[in-house]
């Protein structure tokens, strides 16, 4: 079952997709054809859009076929001359696999490793009572 198409939606269809029915969405083509068969205003709007499309096509400059052929040949020569990428070395493949481990970059990973080594090899402070510094603080004017 096809839905009917209002003249306003048909105008938007023409503005969006142009006057050529092959460019219209396939689901809207039957409704547009039914509207065109029954509405002289829709046919007039389509004819106006076709005239505008033809005028725009005529006003645009068309490149010379020889220039297009030369351009295509030059692009084909450049593609043929471009060397293929070199296969990845084992070192490059290893770095590619390790890249997710350093999302902020290798410098950030090196800084993190340096901090971890520094904290790991530094002498640990003597562990006594961890609450000793708090015992000298007066809390609500009541010394502990």
Q: 102-138 pLDDT, tens per residue?
A: 777 778 888 888 999 988 887 766 667 777 666 665 6
CB neighbours of 101 closer than 8 A, spacing ≥ 6?
A: 109
**pLDDT > 90 in the chain, percent:** 50
What pTM was estimated for this model as a whole? 0.45
The whole-angstrom separation of Cα 92 and Cα 84 is: 17
The whole-angstrom separation of Cα 139 and Cα 122 is: 34
pLDDT tens-digit readout, 36-45: 999 999 999 9
The whole-angstrom separation of Cα 49 and Cα 32 is: 14
């Amino acid at each position: 079952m096809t839905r009917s198409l209002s003249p306003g939606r048909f105008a938007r269809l023409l503005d969006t997709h142009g006057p050529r029915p092959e460019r219209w969405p396939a689901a809207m083509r039957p409704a547009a054809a039914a509207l065109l068969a029954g509405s002289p205003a829709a046919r007039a709007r389509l004819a106006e859009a076709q005239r505008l499309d033809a005028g725009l096509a005529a006003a645009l400059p068309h490149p010379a076929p020889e220039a297009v052929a030369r351009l295509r040949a030059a692009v084909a020569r450049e593609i043929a001359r471009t060397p293929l990428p070199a296969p990845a070395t084992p070192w490059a493949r290893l770095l590619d696999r390790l890249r997710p481990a350093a999302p902020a970059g290798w410098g950030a990973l090196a800084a993190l490793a340096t901090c971890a080594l520094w904290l790991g090899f530094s002498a640990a402070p003597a562990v006594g009572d961890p609450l000793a510094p708090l015992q000298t603080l007066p809390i609500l004017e009541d010394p502990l």
